[in-house]
């Protein structure tokens, strides 16, 4: 149990375009979902926390107009990187938590902006 999927697993886009990443909890209802960014050989950096049906809470320094998060249901959250630039290239990972303490991570999405 506790499976979280992400789609796509990797995406290459041109500078200036927008990219949407989906995060789904497959076998549990996720009251809270989190989005992280990870650079090579570094720890995970929390970008935002979202609860179903409410606006996401962004961490300091994360542009909410650039990284749009929607948590439309208890099993789906999306991250849209708007007007992507090469510096947005990174590994984006979502996680989901249910009623208990555990947080389960998706497999990640490798974004490359050319």
Partner 1 sequence: QQQVKQSPQSLIVQKGGISIINCAYENTAFDYFPWYQQFPGKGPALLIAIRPDVSEKKEGRFTISFNKSAKQFSLHIMDSQPGDSATYFCAASWAGSARQLTFGSGTQLTVLP
What Cα–Cα distance (Å) separates residue 68 from each residue in 5, 22, 74, 81, 113?
19, 12, 18, 7, 17
Task: By CB under 8 A, tell whether 22 contacts partner 1.
Answer: no
Smallest gap, in angstroms, from Cβ of residue 11 to partner 1? 14
Residues that contact partner 1, how many (by CB under 8 A):
26
Q: Which H or E run contains 22?
A: strand 19-25
Smallest gap, in angstroms, from Cβ of residue 95 to partner 1? 8
Smallest CA-to-CA distance from 50 within 81, 84, 76 is with 76
Give the integer Cα–Cα distance in Å for 44 and 82.
21
Subset of 26-85 contacting partner 1 (CB under 8 A): 32, 34, 41-44, 46, 49, 51, 57
Binding site for partner 1 (CB under 8 A): 2, 4, 6, 32, 34, 41-44, 46, 49, 51, 57, 91, 93, 95, 97, 101-108, 110
């Amino acid at each position: 149990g506790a499976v979280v999927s992400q789609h796509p697993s990797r995406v290459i886009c041109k500078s200036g375009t927008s990219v949407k990443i989906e995060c789904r909890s497959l076998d549990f209802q996720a009251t809270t979902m989190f989005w992280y960014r990870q650079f090579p050989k570094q720890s995970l950096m929390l970008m935002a926390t979202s609860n179903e049906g409410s606006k996401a809470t962004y961490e300091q320094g994360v542009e909410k107009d650039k990284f749009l998060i929607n948590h439309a249901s208890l099993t789906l959250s999306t991250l849209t990187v708007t007007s992507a630039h090469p510096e947005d290239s990174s590994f984006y990972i979502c996680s989901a938590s249910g009623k208990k303490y555990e947080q389960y991570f998706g497999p990640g999405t490798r974004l490359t902006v050319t």
